[in-house]
Amino acid sequence: MQNQYILWFDQITANDLPSVGGKNASLGEMLKYLKDKNINVPNGFALTAKSFWTFIEHNNLKDKLQFLINRYKEKKASLQITGKAIRKLILRGKFPKEIQKEIVDAYLKLSSQYNRPNVDVAIRSSATAEDLPSASFAGQLESFLNIKGKNNILKKCVHCYASLFTDRAIIYREEKGFDHMQIAVSVGIQKMVRSDMAGAGVIFTLDTESGFSNVIEISAAFGLGENVVQGTITPDEYITFKPLVEDETKIPILQKKMGRKEKKMIYSPKGTKNIRTTLKQRESFVLTDKEILILSRWAKLIEDHYKKPMDIEWAKDGPTNELFIVQARPETVQAQKERKTHFSSYKIPCPSQVIIEGLAIGEKAVSGKAQIIKSIKDINRFEEGSILVTKTTSPDWVPIMKKAKGIITDLGGRTSHAAIVSRELNVAAIVGTINATTKIKDGQEITLSCAEGSIGKVYDKILEIEKEEIDIEKLPKIKTNIMINIASSEGAFHWWHLPVKGIGLARLEFIINNIIKIHPMALVHFDKIKNAKTKNMISKLTKGYKDKSSYFVDTLAYSVAKIAASQYPNDVIVRMSDFKTNEYFNLIGGDEFEFKEENPMLGFRGASRYYNKKYVDGFKLECRAIKKAREIIGLDNIIIMIPFCRTLDEADKVLKILKDNDLSRGENNLKVYVMAEIPSNIILADKFATKFDGFSIGSNDLTQLTLGIDRDSEELSSIFDENNEAVKISIAKLIKDAHSKNAKVGICGQAPSDKLEFAKFLVQNGIDSISLNPDSVIKVINYLSKIEKK
C-alpha cells in the first residue's frame, strides 16, 4: 500500500520542494541522481506538508492558532506569550493513527536497512508552502540529533511542528510578510552520521567574500557540525581549486588553515553538549588531504547538477571513517549580490579646509573619525571603521589595516608597506604626509580623498562624497595586454573580476614577511640558532611540522598557488624573493644569518643570493615551493621571474640552481623571466634574451640606477622621474632588442599606474603587457583605448 503522508528520500526530487521543503527535496535529488557518482548521502524519509496539515486538523488547532496570532498582530499579547501558547497547544497534539503507523513502519524499515533494531537518526524541520517554494527559513526551526526508538521519533516530530512558532520564526515571517497560517513543516528523518566521534562542517562552492567561483571552501571541526554552522568556534579552513579537483594526478589544495577548534559537540544522555577539545585535536587538522579532495569533488558534482553555487553540510562517521553529505542548498549571500561588473569613482563636490596632503593610494574617498595610533603596542585600541593615522606601518599592522576605513601615514612612498597593503585591501590611503599624526587630532572628523589625482588630501569635517559606478562590461576593448600586480594571497580573489589577462608581478616578500615570518635559513639550520627566544618563536609558528623547512615550502606553495588560481589559466609571473639584507635581518632568526650593509639597495639582493652559500639553502626552499605549486597543486600557469640579475654569468648560475632543483626552463612548460631593472640588463638585452623567455621592467629600480638617485630619498624625489629621456631610451631599446630574439617584454613597475603619459609611451613602443596596480586598471584601459584609436 502506498504511503500518503511520507516519502522516502529516493522518491523525492527538487520538484517536490513545496511538499517536503528545501532540505528534504535536496537530499532526495542527490540520492536519486548523484548516487552513481559515489556521493554518500544517508538514507531516510520525510513527513510531507500533508502530514502537518492533517495533524493540525486532527487536533482542532487551526482556529485556536489563528486566534492567538490575531491577538499578537493586534498587540493584545506579547510575542513571548503568543509563541509559548501556540507551542503548548501543538505539543499536546497527537498524530492520527494512520500517520503514526506510516512513521513507525518507515523507521523500522530504515533500522532494518542499517541492521540495527533502533537506528539512530537526525530529525530536521523544513518550512514549506505551496505558494512559497523558495522560502528556506534557514535556522528558524528545530533539529534533533541522535534520536532512537519509535516513541522518541514521534515525540520529536511533534516538537518540529511546534518549532514553527518559536519566537525567532514568528519574527522572521513577520519581517518577510509571510502568512503564518500558510506555512507548513516537513520533517526529515535521516540516518545519523556519528560525527561526534569524528568531525563535520560546511562547504561553499565559491569564495564567500569575493564571489570568486573557481574555488571550493571547506570548514571543519571535531564533533557535530552545529558549532561550525552556528559560528561558535574557529574551525579549520581549506580551499581547493575547483577546475582541478577531478584531476587525480594533482593535489589542488590552495589553503590549509588550522583553526583553534576550542570545543566540540558530542551526544549526552540529555541530548548534546560541548566539551573542550584535547591539545592534540586543537593542533591537528580535522581532514586529511585525501578527504579534502573527496569532499571537493563531491561539492563540484553537486554544483554541476544544480547549476548554481551551493552551501553544503558534510559529516564524517567515527566508527567507519566514511564521509557523508547531509544537506545541500543554493548559496544565497553572493547569489543575491549584484554581479561584480561595476567599479566606483569618487568626487567631493564641496571641499573644505585641507588639513594635510600626501601621496594618494587608490582612487577612493572616505570619511570618518581619525584614530591616531603611533605605536604597535597600542593597536588593540583601534576601533573598527575608524581612519587609521600613524607614522608608518609594518606587517604587524595588517590586522588593524584590514579594519580601517582609511589609512594616513607620516612616512612612506608609493612602494611603501602602507601603500602596497592598502591597494591589496582596497582601502583608501594617503602616505608620506610628514606630520599627519600631529596635524590631525585624535577623534577628529575628517574626509580622506584619493579621488583628485596623485596628491591625496585630508579635509576637515565629514563631507559629501559623490560616487559613480563604472560598468566593466561596457569598457572598451584594447589590444594591449593588461595584467595586475599582487603581493598578498589574501587579496588575490578580490580582483578576479577585473578585465585583465594575468598577473605581471606576484611578490614573494609579502608572503614571507606577513605569513611565514621566519628567515628561511633559520628553518634549514634550526639547530644552529643560539637565541632561545628565537627558537621558541619558530617552534610555535611551525607546530605540526617535524621538518621545519617544510613549513616554509608548504606555506609559500599554498600562497603562490592561491594567487595563481585567481587568474588561471592566464600567466602569473612570480618574482623570487628580493629582500635586502636589512629586510631579511628583520625576519625571525634573521639576525643570526644576515650582516650589516652600508647600502642594502645595491648590495646582497636578488639573484646574487640564490647561488651564494650564505643563502642557497634558503633559495632551494623557494624552488621546492614553486615546484609544489606548479606540479603537485597543478597551477602550471606560474612563470618564474629572477630579480636583480646583474650579469650574464650570474644568469647562468641561477638557471643551474633552478635546474638542480627540478625547475629546468622549458620542462613542464616552465618559463623563466628576468627583471629588467639594471642598466646591464638593457645594454646586454639581446644576450639576456637568449637565456630567459622574457623581461619585466622594474621601473623604480631602473630609474634609480639610470639616474643615480636613491628612490627613497625625499630630498631628490622631485627629479626621480620615469619619464626622464634616459630611462625611456633604455626601455625602448630593451623592447626592440628583446623582440629581435622573440622574447616578450612587460612592465610591472609603478610608473604606468601613476602616469598615463608613460603608459602611452610604452604602447607606442610595442610593449607586450602592462601590469598595473589593481585600482588603476579601469583608468588606464579607458586612456589606452583612445591612444590605440589614434
Would you please indicate which residues are annotated as catalytic (active-site) residues? 417, 748
Longest dimension (CA), the chain: 94
Are 141 and 125 contacting, i.e. CB atoms less than 8 angstroms apart? yes
Beta 672-676 vs 638-642: how paired, if at all? Answer: parallel
Residue identified by cell 567561483 is: 213
How far apart, in whole angstroms, are the C-alpha atoms of residue 25 and residue 760?
Answer: 57
Q: What angle do CA 546, 548, 554 make, to 5 degrees?
A: 100
Other CB atoms within 10 A of residue 169 CB: 23
Distance of CA 662 to the CA centre of its chain: 30
Residue 146: φ, ψ to 5°: 55, 50
CA–CA gap between residue 315 and residue 112 (Å, rounded) = 22
Lookup result for grid cell 590631525: 440
| Helix, strand, coil distribution of the chain in percent, nearest 5 | 45, 20, 35
Report DSSP state, residue 15.
G
Q: What is the chain's alpha carbon radius of gyration, rounded to the nearest angstrom?
A: 31
CA distances from 405 to 456, 486, 521 (A): 15, 21, 38
| Extended strands (E) in 32-161 | 44-47, 121-128, 143-147
Would you say 142 and 126 are in contact if contact means Cβ atoms under 8 Å apart? Answer: no
Residue 756 phi, psi dihedral angles, 5° rounding = -65, -35
Q: Is the peptide bond before 569 cis (omega within 30 degrees of 0)?
A: yes
Q: Where are the alpha helices (DSSP H) in 459-547?
A: 489-492, 508-511, 520-524, 532-541
What DSSP line would sit under 210-248, residue for residue? T--TTEEEEEEEEB-THHHHHT-S--EEEEEEGGGTT-T
